[in-house]
Amino acid sequence: MDDCIFCKIIEGDVPCDLVYQDDKLVVFRDIRPKAKTHLLLVPKLHIKSLLEVQGEHGDLLSHMMLVLPKIAIDAGLKTGFRTVINTGPGGGQEVDHLHLHVLGGGLAKF
Ligand code: AMP
Ligand code: ZN
C-alpha cells in the first residue's frame, strides 16, 4: 500500500525503533508512547483492520498471539502487559494497517 506508514516502515523506507521481526511481522516502539513500554506488533501483510480479516488470515492472527509472550518478556514486561487493537473509526484506529499495541509499566486497571 503506497500511502500506508506501516507498509513504509516494513519496506524500510521510513525508520523505526525495531525490537523484533520475523517472516510474518515486525515489532517496533510507538513514536508517541502511552506507557513506559509501548510496542506495536504489525503484520507484514497489509490488512486494513480486524473488520477485514478472513479465514485465510487465521495462521497470521494465531502467530501474532503466540509470539506475544516472548516479545513482552524480552521488552522487560515479565509481570504482564496490556494488549489493545483499535478497529475502524468507531474504535479510534488512526493507522489503517492492522496492529496490536503492547503496553506495560505502571498501568492502572480500567
Ligand atoms: P491506532 O490509533 O491504533 O491506529 O494506533 C496507531 C499508533 O501508531 C499510534 O499510537 C501512533 O503513535 C503510532 N504511530 C504512528 N506513526 C508511527 C511511526 N512512524 N512510528 C511509530 N509509531 C507510529
Ligand atoms: Zn500497510
What's the CA angle centered on 71, arms 34 and 107, to 5 degrees? 30
Whether 104 shows a pLDDT value over 80: the answer reads: yes
Ligand 1 within 6 A of 85 CB? no
Query: Residue range 45-54: average pLDDT?
Result: 98
Residue nearest to atom 15 of ligand 1 (CA): 31
Catalytic residues: 99
Using an 8 Å Cβ cutoff, are 42 and 97 in contact?
yes
Using an 8 Å Cβ cutoff, are 32 and 49 in contact?
no
Query: Residue range 103-107: average pLDDT?
Result: 91
Calculate the average pLDDT of the chain: 96
Picking from 47, 14, 43, 17, the residue whose alpha carbon sits closest to that of residue 30 is 17
What is the model's pLDDT at position 12? 97
| Annotated domain spans of the chain | 5-104
Distance 106 CA to ligand 2 centre (A): 31
Q: Which ligand is nearest to the CA of 3?
A: 2
Query: Residue range 56-71: average pLDDT?
Result: 98
Picking from 108, 88, 89, the residue whose alpha carbon sits closest to that of residue 98 is 88
Distance 88 CA to ligand 2 centre (A): 14
Q: Which residues contact 100 (CB under 8 A, 6 or more apart)?
A: 40, 41, 42, 64, 68, 83, 84, 85
Using an 8 Å Cβ cutoff, are 19 and 38 in contact?
no
Whether 2 shows a pLDDT value over 90: the answer reads: no
What is the model's pLDDT at position 70? 97
Ligand 1 within 6 A of 15 CB? no
Domain formed by 5-104, architecture: 2-Layer Sandwich (3.30)
Q: Which ligand is nearest to the CA of 85?
A: 1
Q: pLDDT tens for residues 3-43?
A: 999 999 999 999 999 999 999 999 999 999 999 999 999 99
What is the rounded CA–CA span in Å between residue 40 and residue 79? 19
